Amino acid sequence: MAALSTPSGLLFITANRIGDAVLSSGVLGQLMAANPDQPVTVACGPVPAGLFADLPNLERIHPLVRRGRIGHWWDLWRATRPRHWQVVADLRGSLIGWTLTADRRLMFRPAKRHEHRIEELARQLRLPDLPQPQLWIAPSRQAKAREILGETTPILAVGPTANWGAKQWPADRFADAVTRLTGPGGILAGARVAVFGTESERAMAAPVLAAVPAERRLDCIGTTHLLDAAALLQCCSFYFGNDSGLMHLAAAAGIPTLGLFGPSPEWRYRPWGARTAVVRTPESYEDLVGAADFDHRRQASLMTGLTVDAVVEAAEALWNNASRCR
């Protein structure tokens, strides 16, 4: 029992989804800055687990692989119970944080307020500052990304997919917007175009890829590691895409990021940062999800009210504003 008397380590329990995990990363950043020598254990869903692979002082990533109703929580409890933790930060609102021995606990309980997720985290956890999302990317990954992308000409990054069909702006409109942004007179005239998404989303992104001349096309679909995708995004000049984890990854990578919104609340999930912006459908989130015929299982796009003109104008405004912020 003597070993339990000496606190050691940060336990960070975070989300199942990439976007939520990215938005929570600033909390971990603040904890690591305040406890620079502590080893870090991250528990999260298996999909965003790769986000934390290059953490300094990383001791372990514990994927929360669902096993029945609570089996995965029992697995985490058994793995973490023997230790006296310096800090336990539980952003999932589970009971585990209360059952572990710890010098400090940050326990999150979601509340229905009209506020951004980051503002909610800061308020709930009583943080000294808003937790700005951040990424930890090994220099070797960054060097590999620069090698893959080669030339130093501007690159427009595009995220035309989403995890719900209703949130996807039509692919043909993405293709039109790309053509206008990179064509003569566009903010990124002559730029190469990097299209991102998972391999399973290739068919959704195919019209966008097809619209880009082969000599300017960069096929980044199916990049297998999240941090490799982040390193590629860091090399890009501008990003626009649907509300998705990739959108949050681009914003955290530090490039100007325009998020396209419809049946999701931009006040809650807009990309975070000084060099970000949103453009949404003429209909509000409440109008779309409150419609009499709304069905959360539908996959047909609810983004058709958003025009190419509106997206191009928003991209131009963000580009000009981001240029002044450099």
Q: Which residues pair with 218 in a beta bridge?
A: 194
- pTM, two decimals, is 0.95
Q: Is the CB of residue 23 less than 8 Å from the CB of residue 54? A: no
**pLDDT tens digits, one per residue of 67-120:** 888 899 999 999 999 999 999 999 998 889 899 999 999 999 877 789 999 999
CB-based contacts of 296: which residues, under 8 Å, 6+ apart? 289
pLDDT > 90 fraction of the chain, expressed in percent and rounded: 88
Could you give the 3-state DSSP secondary structure of residue 114?
Answer: coil
Instruction: Give the total residue count for the chain.
Output: 326
Q: Does the structure show a pLDDT above 70 at 4?
A: no
pLDDT-based confidence at residue 326 (cuts at 50, 70, 90): low
Task: Give tens-digit pLDDT for 34-74.
Answer: 999 999 999 999 999 999 999 999 999 999 998 888 899 99
Our measurement of the distance from residue 127's CA atom to the centroid of its chain's CA atoms, rounded to an integer in Å, reads: 21
Q: Residue 124 is encoded by which pair of tokens? A: 């709930």
Give the model's confidence band at 5: pLDDT under 50 very low, under 70 low, under 90 confident, else very high.
low
Supply 42's token pair.
Answer: 């991250």
Q: Do 58 and 138 touch, CB atoms closer than 8 A?
A: no
pLDDT of residue 67: 87
Q: What is the pLDDT of residue 237?
A: 97
Band (3; pLDDT cuts 50, 70, 90): very low
Distance of CA 62 to the CA centre of its chain: 19
Q: How far apart are CA 16 and CA 36, in angstroms?
A: 26
Mean pLDDT of 270-278: 97
